[in-house]
Structure 1
Amino acid sequence: MIQRLQSIWLLLAAAAAFCSLQFSFFSGNMIGENQAKSFVSLTAQSNLLLLILSAGVGIASLIAIFLYKNRKMQLRIVLLTLLVSIINLVLFFTQTQKFVPGEGKYDLTAVFAIFIPVLLLFAIRGIRRDEKLVKSLDRLR
Structure 2
Amino acid sequence: MIQRIQSIYLLVATAISGGLIFVFNLWENLKEEIFALDLFSRDSVFLKVIPLLYLLSAVVSFLDIFLFKNRKLQFVVGRLVILINLFLLGLLIYVSLTLPGEILISKKGIGMFLPILVILLIVLANKAIKKDEDLVKSVDRLR
Q: TM-score, structure 1 length as denominator?
A: 0.83
Structure 1 residues 99 and 92, CA gap change in structure 2 (3 angstroms): same
- Pick the structure with more strand per residue: 1
Mapped to 2, the partners of 1:59 and 1:108 lie a distance apart of 21
Output the amino acid matched with 2:131: R
Q: Is the 8 A contact 2:21 2:111 kept in 1?
A: no
Secondary structure of the 1:16 match is helix
Question: Aligned match of 2:36 in 29, 41, 44?
Answer: 44
- CA displacement 1:91-141 (0-9 Å, x = unmatched): 122222205335421224544333011111111111111110100110111
Is it true that 1:61 corresponds to 2:61 in the alignment?
yes
| Number of aligned residues | 132
Structure 1 segments of 4+ aligned residues over 4 angstroms from their partners: none
Secondary structure of the 1:21 match is coil
Could you say which residue in structure 1 is the equivalent of 2:43? none
Mapped to 1, the partners of 2:57 and 2:124 lie a distance apart of 15
Structure 2 residue ranges without an equivalent (≥5): 40-46
Mapped to 1, the partners of 2:89 and 2:33 lie a distance apart of 16
Deviation of 1:26 (Å): 1.8
- CA displacement 1:50-79 (0-9 Å, x = unmatched): 121111100000100000000011111110
Could you say which residue in structure 2 is the equivalent of 1:28? 29
Q: Is the 8 A contact 1:11 1:62 kept in 2?
A: yes
The alignment's C-alpha RMSD in Å is: 1.8
Structure 1 residue ranges without an equivalent (≥5): 30-38
Structure 1 residues 89 and 20, CA gap change in structure 2 (3 angstroms): farther
Q: TM-score, structure 2 length as denominator?
A: 0.82
Could you say which residue in structure 2 is the equivalent of 1:36? none
